[in-house]
């Protein structure tokens, strides 16, 4: 939930080659296990990483490999500055926690106390921002509606606030759910500025970075700023060649932290020493949030709380542009690991826990595997459950596939058939119960987690629109919430969505009045008026639900 990293086996460069090629000496010698974890990295011509490992608050080693700049040259080393992506969130949360512990705000303050111009969308508190319980749509999703998105536009925090102020609804009632949204941490950074009267950079430098000796750490909050020692960021194309993917936006809070691995480790060490924050600071940062229902979310203050080999793991991954990162601690052992990379073909979200487990001599994390349920599409009761369903909570689509001994939801979640329309997840944490309509057809199912949470899924009509029916959807549509317009055009046997006359995506018919834009994870569900004419559509994304677009009057009906 901290990030959505590409699960790609392509890893760039190798420890052994790059450490030898590094122009600066690195403290400590990384153990052979490091090279075995990154065995595919055997070239010094691509982007790379810097990694540090601490034990008992003492530096054990730093390893560096790969190039900091593919165009101008130069290897990474312990002084190379990377962006930390969503690892940044814990520093933003720390700023809020420090202000709360100093009595300058309360975590239970209404958001509108500090940002009074924000619309009255519900009882959102500062705490809900930090724990992703606000229900706010993700600003990055909202920016996708425009001609230029955040990958190539210098959005600022003020621009995000303007975008969020246009919203007239939330994904859910505040406190009812957990849903990761970068909007929360943009607003948290703005709250820091409103409370202190200082810039976010100035306050965090004075209150956190300075006292911890993090002299190479700052925020990417100024367009075009020269940052000596900063690595450029890269993404691979389909042919395996690299293209630069260094962010240009200046939005900070959810990301935008520029730091070195030694500085990052100084911060992780502080979560144990509490040099900044004082006694109780660590507990405040790592306290897992709870929903109104009483269910735990396993998310604390910019930190994910999980287990590794049966031990408590406190960590967070990050991804922004071509930068990827991971920072994690095993508090009971006093072990900490930090990884900063400038190529997003490297999956730090998996590699971080795997490396830390090896260093701690713990069992390796279990990799995602397709559930073994026997032959696909075998005869049996599971076939009646197969089909396309919609999650009634978040509107996301779920494809149920039948197998000899059960079903899968979207290919990766397996449920074994235990009889009488009931299925149990392979890990034993969830139960699926199907229901039938008056004709005996399975028309819905519920998934109940052992913590009491339950979600309903309803079958969709997969009768697709014919070529003759496609013109009925064509026209211009507008969303006041995103201040965006879209044009729906009729292509060859499908629809095309166009924004700003420049960006075009093909829509794939998926269910009755429903289309997907696979390249962007969009689901468009068209609405009809009482006369049966198409009047608008609702746009759904994983972090932004039911963005309403209305057909513009001058586009007419077909």
Residue 163 predicted with pLDDT over 80: yes
**Residue range 167-191: mean pLDDT, rounded:** 97
3-state DSSP of 140-155:
HHHHCCCCCCCCCCCC
Per the prediction, the chain carries an average pLDDT of: 89
Q: How confident is the model at residue 452 (pLDDT cuts 50, 70, 90)?
A: confident
What's the residue count for the chain? 558
Longest dimension (CA), the chain: 74
Helical (H) or strand (E) element with 495: strand 495-499
Residues 438, 262: Cα–Cα separation, whole Å: 65
Domain 381-459 architecture: Beta Barrel (2.40)
CA neighbor of 268 nearest in space, from 4, 87, 97? 87
Q: Is 463 helix (H, G, I), strand (E, B) or coil?
A: coil
pLDDT given at position 380: 65
- Under CATH, which number does the domain 1-87+216-360 receive? 3.40.710.10
Which one has a higher pLDDT value, 343 or 22?
343
Helix then strand then coil, % of the chain, to nearest 5: 20, 30, 45
pLDDT given at position 97: 98
3-state DSSP of 169-235:
CCCCCCCCCCCCCHHHHHHHHHHHHHHHCCCHHHHHHHHHHCCCCCCCCEECCCCCCCCCCECCCEE
CATH number for 470-555 (one of 2.40.50.1020, 1.10.3720.10, 3.40.1410.10, 2.40.128.50): it is 2.40.128.50
Provide the residue ranges of all domains of the chain, joining segments of one domain with +: 1-87+216-360, 381-459, 470-555
Residues 458, 391: Cα–Cα separation, whole Å: 7
Q: How many CB atoms lie within 10 A of CB 119?
A: 12
**Residue range 193-198: mean pLDDT, rounded:** 98
Residue 543 predicted with pLDDT over 70: yes
Whole-model pTM? Answer: 0.91
- What is the C-alpha radius of gyration for the chain, rounded to an integer number of angstroms? 25
Same topology, domains 1-87+216-360 and 381-459? Answer is no
């Amino acid at each position: 939930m901290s990030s959505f990293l590409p699960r790609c086996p392509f890893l760039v460069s190798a420890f052994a080659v790059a450490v030898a090629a590094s122009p600066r000496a690195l403290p400590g010698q990384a153990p052979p296990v490091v090279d075995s974890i990154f065995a595919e990295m055997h070239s010094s011509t691509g982007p790379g990483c810097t990694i540090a490992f601490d034990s008992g608050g003492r530096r054990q080693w730093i390893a560096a490999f790969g190039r900091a700049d593919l165009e101008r040259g130069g290897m990474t080393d312990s002084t190379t500055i990377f962006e930390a992506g969503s690892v940044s969130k814990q520093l933003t949360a720390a700023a809020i926690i420090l202000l709360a512990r100093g009595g300058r705000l309360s975590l239970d303050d209404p958001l509108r106390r500090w940002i009074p111009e924000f619309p009255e969308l519900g009882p959102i508190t500062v705490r809900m921002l930090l724990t992703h319980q606000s229900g706010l749509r993700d600003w990055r999703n909202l920016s996708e509606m425009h001609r230029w998105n955040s990958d190539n536009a210098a959005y600022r925090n003020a621009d995000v606030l303007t975008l969020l102020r246009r919203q007239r609804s939330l994904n859910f009632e505040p406190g009812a759910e957990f849903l990761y949204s970068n909007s929360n941490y943009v607003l948290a950074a703005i709250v820091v500025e409103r409370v202190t009267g200082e810039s976010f950079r100035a306050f965090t430098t004075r209150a956190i970075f300075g006292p911890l000796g993090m002299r190479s750490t700052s925020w990417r909050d100024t367009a075009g700023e020269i940052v000596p020692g900063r690595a450029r960021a890269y993404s691979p194309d389909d042919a395996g060649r690299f293209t630069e993917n260094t962010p240009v936006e200046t939005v900070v809070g959810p990301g935008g932290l520029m730091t070195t691995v030694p500085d990052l480790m100084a911060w992780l060490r502080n979560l144990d020493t509490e040099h900044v924050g004082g006694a109780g600071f660590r507990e405040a940062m790592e306290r897992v949030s709870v929903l109104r229902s009483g269910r735990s979310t396993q998310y604390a203050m910019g930190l994910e709380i999980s287990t590794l080999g049966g031990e408590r793991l406190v960590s967070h991954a990050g991804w922004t542009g071509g930068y990827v990162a991971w920072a994690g601690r095993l508090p009971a052992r006093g072990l900490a690991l930090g990884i900063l990379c400038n190529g997003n073909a490297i999956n730090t979200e998996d590699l971080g826990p795997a490396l830390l487990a090896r260093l701690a001599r713990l069992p390796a994390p279990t990799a995602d595997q397709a559930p073994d349920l026997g032959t696909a599409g075998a005869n049996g009761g599971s076939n009646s459950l197969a089909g396309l369903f919609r999650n009634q909570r978040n509107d996301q689509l779920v494809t149920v596939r039948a197998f000899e001994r059960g079903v899968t939801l979207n290919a990766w979640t397996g449920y074994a058939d235990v009889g009488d329309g009931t299925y149990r997840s392979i890990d034993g944490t969830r139960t699926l119960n199907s229901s039938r309509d008056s004709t005996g057809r399975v028309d819905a199912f519920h998934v109940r987690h052992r913590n009491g949470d339950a979600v309903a899924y309803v079958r969709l009509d997969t009768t697709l629109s014919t070529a003759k029916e496609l013109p009925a959807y064509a026209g211009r549509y507008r969303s006041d919430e995103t201040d965006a317009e879209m044009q729906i055009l009729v292509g060859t046997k499908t629809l095309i969505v166009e924004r700003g006359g420049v960006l075009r995506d093909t829509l794939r018919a998926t269910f009755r009045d429903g289309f997907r834009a696979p390249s962007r994870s969009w689901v468009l569900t068209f609405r009809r008026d009482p006369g049966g004419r198409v009047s608008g559509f609702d746009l759904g994304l994983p972090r932004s639900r039911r963005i309403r677009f209305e057909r513009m009057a001058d586009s007419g009906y077909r």
